[in-house]
Structure 1
Amino acid sequence: MSPLADRYGRRFPYLRLSVIPACNFRCTYCLPHGYHADPNASQPLSLAEITRLLRGFTELGMHKLRITGGEPSVRQDLTDIMRTAAAVPGVTKLAMTTNGTLLSRRLSEWMDAGLNAINVSVDSLDRAVFARITGHDRLEDILGGIDQALAADLPSVKLNAVLLRGVNDEQLPSWLDYLRERRVGLRFIELMQTGDNLPFFRDHHVRAETLETQLSQGGWQLLPRAADAGPAREYRHPDYAGRIGIIAPYSKDFCAGCNRLRVTATGDLRLCLFGEFGIPLRPLLQADEQLEELVRAIGGQIGRKEQGHFLHDGRTGITPHLASTGG
């Protein structure tokens, strides 16, 4: 296998693949009015196209795959996608990011298909606040699914919480109570500006470094970053079973450790979540005989990856909202 590297020396063993742009939540920071399908949009990649895509990326050294959306569990053949992905030679870690609405019902099925890591979006442990953010009063069911995943010894269970000023940014004490006995990783994610959320961003953005200061003062210690880890700076504390990660895209050198690429549900390669362009790979996913051409196409595009995003300049690229690209 040939490692996929860019001109800045970064390697990319980690692919985030969106399998559907649709979502059944109405999160205030992403799809506040719900998902509305574009009648002119192409259908998501088929199972055969996904298989060819993954074979191409594993040829280039990809071994960690995260299935995203929208909300991936909206897709009816999600379990088949997992089973197929887990069987691709070279894929050693199969993860998914989900809102957890089907977790308690389908966890066993997903684990049997090869899922070995899951991130669940839980923006608050307060039932009313959770419903306010997501548009759904489903917190208790989702937390039950997470406890089920822990009881089933799923190797990696993480929670994602988007920090929103004036909404959930003062809830660290309740999260600490939750983490004391649960061996989960909690990710606090700094709100990011996208193409359609500028007023919301201005009202609710809070810098994640403020939370890091609180953690350091409370005795939490920063851990070394694993080679295939996501973008979080992870902290641990001897008195807690769980860990806390901070994803701070506006911090200095955030992009220096970038190790992941993205492919949209319709097969566009995105070199950055906030990039200015997509590279259509779907035409190269129609036959097994196209594998070499696909590998060359992916490898040939990596030189176009920028050293960093341009969020500090207010440039959000072609990402209208996070569900459109896979977050």
Structure 2
Amino acid sequence: MVSQLTDAWARKFYYLRLSVTDVCNFRCTYCLPDGYKPHGVANKSFLSLDEIRRVTRAFAAAGTEKVRLTGGEPSLRRDFTDIIAAVRENASLRQIAVTTNGYRMARDVQQWRDAGLTAINVSVDSLDARQFYAITGQDKFRQVMDGIDAAFAAGFERVKVNTVLMRDVNHHQLGTFLAWIKTRPIQLRFIELMETGEGSELFRQRHVSGMVIRDQLLERGWIHQIRQRSDGPAQVFCHPDYQGEIGLIMPYEKDFCASCNRLRVSSIGNLHLCLFGDGGIPLRDLLANDQQQGELQARISQALAGKKQTHFLHQGNTGITQNLSYIGG
């Protein structure tokens, strides 16, 4: 199905990132260093199971091929397995993914797979247990590693691992990461540290371009792969001697936004056209019953007319994104 969701720059949107909660139990230095704090939206509950069912149905009907469930930490929702099953009801979706900190995977990943989950991204910023604890504020490294093993045991052929690239923290550890993925079908994705409203000082201290990693990969014989239309923004590299792959997400690179194919819905039902945009378009008033699907699709399509050609991170404009758990990264 061709996506009916097209913006003024002729970009087509096949990919929805749906946040189901903004709560997280980790305290990562680049996201929630002081721990989770509610955003002060009075009496605003997270999307219910039926609301999630309706919003994903509208996107699927408009040609969306991939839904990624995000947070916060999405597995903190007690009904998370039911959420996966509700999204799975849309037969036209080719992929249902989750981004997780991994702490519940060892226990629950088989249930997620059985409910219809097809892909997993796990956040792991260091392969050293002590450094992992220093970054996340949680002594859960072994638990997360066990969770990745459990994902393979549950039948996932590949697991993606997200690593936020930080100067003098992990940018010099490429060899360690490559050794880890040599015999494991893991796509390790280095994500450039992005400036947020609450993270400007850390950004100035720790930001390093993904080009540093790309140059090292090319020197070592890694090959750049072709991107598919519902893929995320990573540039992916492979090597004949490695089971794993390396992905690079570089939002500060020229023309990063030219291939944008994803939209975001927050945990309280606002459509966000960009992670670093200025505001959200409310959808929740059209999620109360099944009779509003046409209006819902129309509002989403109309909103796309206002999507800007690019983000303004280069100018230090982070929009309303105070931290990455706010909309779902």
Aligned to 1:299: 301
1:5 match:
6
1:9-48 aligned within 5 A: 9-38=10-39, 40-48=42-50
Q: CA deviation at 1:245?
A: 0.2
TM-score (norm 1): 0.98
Amino acid at match of 2:18: L
- Confirm or deny: 8 A CA contact 1:124 1:130 kept in the other structure: yes
Using the TM superposition, give the Cα deviation of residue 155 of structure 1 relative to its aligned residue in structure 2, in angstroms.
Answer: 4.0
**Large movers: runs of 4+ above 3 Å:** none
Letter aligned with residue 65 of structure 2: H
Deviation at 1:140, TM superposition (A): 1.2
- Could you tell me which amino acid in structure 1 is paired with residue 201 of structure 2? P
Q: Which residue of 1 aligns with 2:80?
A: 78
Q: Percent identity?
A: 50
Alignment of 1:231-242 (within 5 A): 231-242=233-244
Equivalent residue letter for 1:255: C
Asked whether the 8 Å contact 2:214–2:248 carries over to 1, the reply is yes
Q: Deviations over 1:32-69 (max 9, x none)?
A: 00001245251000011111101111121112000000
1:57 aligns with 2:59: yes
Partner of 1:175: 177
- Counterpart in 1 of 2:143? 141
Seen in structure 2, the aligned counterparts of structure 1 residues 41 and 169 have a Cα distance that, compared at 3 Å, is: farther
Which residue is 1:95 aligned to? 97
Tell me the CA shift for residue 219 of structure 1: 0.6
Q: TM-score scaled by structure 2? A: 0.97
Q: Distance in 1 between matches of 2:108 and 2:184?
A: 21
Partner of 2:325, secondary structure, is: helix
Measured after TM superposition, the shift of residue 263 of structure 1 is 0.3
How much does 1:152 deviate?
2.8
**In 2, Cα distance between equivalents of 1:235 and 1:301:** 35
- CA–CA distance in 2 between the matches of 1:65 and 1:130? 28
CA-to-partner distance for each residue in 1:67-96, whole Å, 9 max, x for gaps?
000000111110110011111232221100
Runs of 5+ unmatched residues, structure 2: none
Q: Give the conservation status (yes or no) of the 8 Å contact 1:157–1:184.
A: yes
Q: Give the distance between the partners of 1:305 and 1:239, measured in 2 at CA.
A: 42
Aligned partners of 2:34 and 2:162: how far apart in 1?
21
Contact 1:271 1:305 in 2 (8 A): yes
**1:230 corresponding residue in structure 2:** 232
Structure 1, unaligned stretches of length 5 or more?
none
Give the distance between the partners of 1:51 and 1:196, measured in 2 at CA: 33
Determine the C-alpha separation between the residues in 2 that align with 1:311 and 1:37.
25
